[in-house]
Amino acid sequence: MDRTTLTWKVTPDLLGVVDASGIFTDTNPAWYTTLGLLPEDIETRQFFYFVHPDDISRTEAAFERVKHGHPVLQFENRYRHKDGSYRWLSWNAVPEGDRFFCSARDVTRAKENEAHLATREQEARFREQFIAVLGHDLRNPLSAVGAALRLLENEPQSAKALEILSLGRQSVTRMSSLINDILDFARARLGNGIEIGHPEKTDLRPVLSQTVEEIRLANPDTDLREEYSFQDPLACDPERMAQLVSNLLSNAVTHGTPGKPVTVTASDDGDDFILSVANAGKPIPQETMDLLFEPFTRAETRASQNGLGLGLFIAQQIAKGHGGLLTAQSDEQQTVFTLRMPRS
């Protein structure tokens, strides 16, 4: 190999020629740039001297292949730097007579990024598995607390005690809702998706009306309006649809302008069912819109706000489970969340 060529001198790849004993007879300047090794450092020892102990056996096998006339391509191992650290190198080696022409590229950063990404993915999966287990295990003791409160309410109690028991039941209901959100989130992120009951033809209008009434009772100062012009029945999971509408309405009530109405509209558009929830209020900033359906994201934080910021994420997953799409638009007049899904 001609040491005088410009490529030999300036390429960032390590170039070299190895003899049958495993000693480099020629090396280019990139060896010093990458490993801090001068020609006299590398050309006086077998290359195994520089290989990481854990990579010796694989490297020996690769060297045997190239000695038997087989090229070795993109073989990765670790070489020791002059300072004692190691660098990951990706090798290509081809035989020519009793010599072997080699090139190597430093892939240390790529390996570190790959390991970092794998660690982050593993940590994220562990967190989601932990959340799923935690949510599941919380259900039983919470159910026991709820049952105990109901039993106590059936016993003679003072007015003050009944008030306290009622507050306790409300807390249990809210905690149960949070646990359900956690479990739905974990199922979605762990790859199973939110469970959607087998879609059957169902009358959705009473489901919507009941859901709106529940939100109305919890928010008596909010003017909730309903405008329905679709045809029942509809192929859907009624419980999940109620959850979707409840999440959208709760979000609209929380972020809407006090005194302004919140409107639920449902209609047909050919073979599609369209449902929207609209409220007046400040427009959602674009940077928030970009993350609106991400878990643990809120348009803004208020002291009175409950929940984990999973409502819109879960609503979107329910829409997807029905083969639909949930979108949002926001301007100075109103913010509208719209679900479009096939009727069957």
Q: How confident is the model at residue 133 (pLDDT cuts 50, 70, 90)?
A: low
Q: Is the pLDDT of residue 6 over 90?
A: no
Q: Is the pLDDT of residue 138 over 80?
A: no
Q: Is the pLDDT of residue 4 over 80?
A: no
Query: In this structure, is the dihedral angle defined by the CA atoms of residues 193, 329, 222 and 305, taken in order, positive or negative?
Result: positive
Q: Which residues contact 109 (CB under 8 A, 6 or more apart)?
A: none
Domain with CATH 3.30.565.10 in the chain: 200-342
Helix (H) or strand (E) holding 92: strand 86-96
Instruction: Tell me the percentage of the chain whose pLDDT exceeds 70.
Output: 88
Q: How confident is the model at residue 252 (pLDDT cuts 50, 70, 90)?
A: very high
Q: What is the dihedral of CA 129, 131, 133, 136, to 10 degrees?
A: -140
Task: Tell me if the domain spanning 200-342 has CATH number 3.30.565.10.
Answer: yes
Tokens of 222: 């909010």
Mean pLDDT of 2-18: 82
Domain with CATH 3.30.450.20 in the chain: 6-106
So what's the pLDDT on residue 145?
84
* Among the listed residues 28, 22, 23, the one whose alpha carbon sits nearest the alpha carbon of residue 1: 28
Whether omega for the bond prior to residue 342 falls within 30 degrees of 0, making it cis, is no
329 forms bridges with which residues in the sheet?
Answer: 336
Mean pLDDT of 118-146: 72
Instruction: For domain 6-106, give its CATH number from 1.10.260.40, 3.30.450.20, 3.40.50.720, 3.40.190.10.
Output: 3.30.450.20
Instruction: Tell me the percentage of the chain whose pLDDT exceeds 90.
Output: 52
Q: Is the pLDDT of residue 187 over 70?
A: no
- Residue 105 has, within 13 A of its CA and on its CB side, a CA count of 10
Mean pLDDT of 81-101: 94
So what's the pLDDT on residue 167?
80
Q: Is the pLDDT of residue 159 over 70?
A: yes
So what's the pLDDT on residue 79?
96
So what's the pLDDT on residue 303?
39
Q: What is the mean pLDDT of the chain?
A: 86
Domain with CATH 1.10.287.130 in the chain: 112-189
Q: Is the pLDDT of residue 66 over 60?
A: yes
**Whole-model pTM above 0.75?**
no
Mean pLDDT of 182-198: 70
- Specify the fold of 112-189: Helix Hairpins (1.10.287)
C-alpha separations of 225 from 137, 261, 324 in Å: 39, 7, 24
Q: Is the pLDDT of residue 9 over 80?
A: yes
